[in-house]
Amino acid sequence: MSQPIYDRVALIGLGLIASSMFWAIKRAGLAKEVTGYARSQATRDTARQIGLCDRICDSAAEAAEGADLVVLCVPVGVMGAVAQEIAPVLKPGATISDVGSVKRHVIDAVTPFVPEGVHFIPAHPLAGTEHSGPESGFAELYDNRWCLLVPVEGSDRAAVEKLRALWEGIGANVEEMDADHHDLVLAVTSHAPHLIAYTMVGVADDLRRVTDSEVIKYSAAGFRDFTRIAASDPTMWRDVFLSNKDATLEILGRFTEELFALQRAIRTGDGDHLFDYFTRTRAIRRGIIEAGQDTDAPDFGRGKAKS
C-alpha cells in the first residue's frame, strides 16, 4: 500500500473507466475515500450492490463536494454540462480532471466553468475493453498502459505531479502532450481504426449473399480482429467522432486515398506494389510487440475458446 495521494477522489460517471479506476485506487491505497455518481438510478444501485466506491451519491454535486480530485468519466459530449453542474461546490485548490478520448473539445467545453483556484488538468488513459458499465471494471485495466496528461496553459505543476502520481499508482505509464497533437495521434491510433472497424462490420452485416451466421462462423480468418473494437460503446464513440471531427476526417481522407491506390493495384494486377506495401507494414507490428503493447503468442491465446 502506498501513502494516499488524495484524501477524497470523486468519480462522476461509473462505466468501465471509472470502475477500473476505483478498483486500482483501492488496490494501491491511493485515496482515503472515493465517492461516485452515475446519472442512472440503475447504475447507482448496481454500484452500491457490488461495493463500487466507498460512497455512492445521488447527485454529481454531492459526490464532488469537498473532493480533492474530481474525475469526469462521462461521454465527451456532456463534459461541459457536468462541469457546470459541479462548479459551485468545488473546493479551492481541488483538481478537476477527465478521461475523455478527445482533448481540445473537452478543454473548450469545461474551461469556462472551472472556478478560480481550481486546477483543471485533462487526462486520457489509453485502455479499454469492449465491455461497458459499472460491472465491467477491473483493477488491472491500466497496468502497463499509457495515460496522457494534457495540462492547459497555466496548469499548476504541483497539481499536475500529483495527478501523475495517481495514474502511476493505478499502474499506468504517464506522458504529457499538447491537446491538438493528442487529438491527431488518437485520430490515427484509435478514432480512424474504430470508424473503419465499425464500417467493415456494418458491411458484413448487410450483405444479402453472405449470411450473418457465415460471417460469424468464419470470422477467425481476419474479420474477428475488427469486431472487438466495433463492439465498443456507441454513445462514447458517437461523441468522439463528433468532437474530433477535423483530425478524424483528415486521417480518413488519407486512408481512402491509400485504399484506392491498393484497389487499383489489385485491379491492374500490380503484384509488386502490393508486395512492397505489405512488407512495410510488418515492421510496425514488430515495434508493438517489442514495446510490450501486445503479445506475440499465437492467436492471442484465443485458440483456447471453445464452443
Kindly identify the residues of this chain, within the stretch 227-256, that bind a copy of itself according to CB under 8 A. 227-232, 234-235, 237-239, 241-242, 245, 248-249, 251-252, 254-256
Does residue number 23 form part of the binding site for a copy of itself (CB under 8 A)?
no
Does residue number 224 form part of the binding site for a copy of itself (CB under 8 A)?
yes
Does residue number 109 form part of the binding site for a copy of itself (CB under 8 A)?
no
Does residue number 161 form part of the binding site for a copy of itself (CB under 8 A)?
no
Least distance in Å: CB of 277 to a copy of itself? 6
Does residue number 141 form part of the binding site for a copy of itself (CB under 8 A)?
yes
Choice between 35 and 190, CB closer to a copy of itself: 190
Least distance in Å: CB of 57 to a copy of itself? 27
Q: Computed from CA positions of residues 162, 163, 166, 168, in that sequence, does the dihedral angle turn out positive or negative?
A: negative
Choice between 1 and 221, CB closer to a copy of itself: 221
**Contact with a copy of itself (CB under 8 A): which of 94, 118, 126, 170?**
126
Does residue number 113 form part of the binding site for a copy of itself (CB under 8 A)?
no
Query: Which range, of 4-12, 59-67, 78-86, 183-191, touches a copy of itself by CB under 8 A?
Result: 183-191
Least distance in Å: CB of 295 to a copy of itself? 4
**Contact with a copy of itself (CB under 8 A): which of 1, 3, 154, 213?**
213
Least distance in Å: CB of 118 to a copy of itself? 29
Does residue number 279 form part of the binding site for a copy of itself (CB under 8 A)?
yes
Number of residues that bind a copy of itself (CB under 8 A): 118
* Nearest Cα to Cα of residue 240 among 86, 283, 273, 232: 232
